[in-house]
Amino acid sequence: MPKNRVVLALLVMLAAVLAGAPADAQSGAGTQDAHTARRPHIVVRPHRLEPGPNSKRYCRFWLAQEDRVSGPVIVPQQVCWWQ
């Protein structure tokens, strides 16, 4: 009898998973490849001043050590400005 309960429980869980999945996910239709999806376009604008038509955005990048609960971690840092 306990073996029947385990099989029944597995069948109920399988039915719940299949019933909860969207129809296009089951058939595989409508999914996009990661390479064919469009990347978002990002426009960077300064907050305080309006740069001139020939202005450029310069950035400086470095790695810094931060102390975390798990121990020291190396994380990327950056600062940017308009010239």
On whether residue 37 sits in a domain, the answer given is no
- The domain total for the chain is 1
Length of the chain: 83
Residues 6+ apart with CB under 8 A from 79: 59, 60
Q: Residue 77: which pLDDT band, with cuts at 50, 70 and 90?
A: very high
What are the distances in angstroms from CA 3 to CA 6, 7, 14, 40? 5, 6, 17, 52
On whether residue 39 sits in a domain, the answer given is no
Q: Residue 8: which pLDDT band, with cuts at 50, 70 and 90?
A: confident
Amino acid code (one letter) for 79 = V
Q: Give CA–CA dist 56/83, Å, rounded.
A: 6
9-58 per-position pLDDT tens digit: 777 777 777 776 555 555 555 555 656 678 888 877 767 667 778 888 89
On whether residue 81 sits in a domain, the answer given is yes
For residue 70, the enclosing domain spans 52-83
Alpha carbon 44 to chain centroid, angstroms:
20
pTM assigned to the model: 0.38
On whether residue 6 sits in a domain, the answer given is no
Flag whether pLDDT at 1 surpasses 70.
no
On whether residue 26 sits in a domain, the answer given is no
